[in-house]
Amino acid sequence: MKKYQVIITSEAEKDILDIYDYITKKDTLQNAEYVLDNLESLILSLDESPERGHYPPELSVQGIKEFKEITFKPYSNGPHNLDSRLSDFHLH
């Protein structure tokens, strides 16, 4: 299977660290680690299937097709006490 290069921009890296910090402050370190580990796995899995996801509607209507969006639901199968405001993360 062909492998693709996954590039995490500095903006995306900052967003991920902000998410981690938010969960650490508002919930628990354990849940922050859970989310960070799963986000990292999801992002790195794009090296084998980068076609996953969809074009964000707000970009698609402007004809921008350089970015795709994938969703991670942190507590669909994991910790159930994460803040409800963290129910979906969208990575662009």
Looking at the DSSP assignment, which residues form a beta bridge with residue 7?
Answer: none
* 1 is a domain residue: no
pLDDT of residue 76: 55
pLDDT of residue 49: 86
Q: What are the C-alpha distances in Å from 29 to residues 24, 32, 36, 51?
A: 5, 5, 10, 32
Range of the domain at 19: 10-91
Task: Report the domain count for the chain.
Answer: 1
* 4 is a domain residue: no
* 50 is a domain residue: yes
* 38 is a domain residue: yes
Q: What is the pTM of this model?
A: 0.67
- DSSP class of 33: H
* 77 is a domain residue: yes
For the chain of 92 residues, list the mean pLDDT of each consecutive stretch of 10. 85 93 94 92 87 88 88 62 44 48
- DSSP class of 48: T
* 37 is a domain residue: yes
* 58 is a domain residue: yes
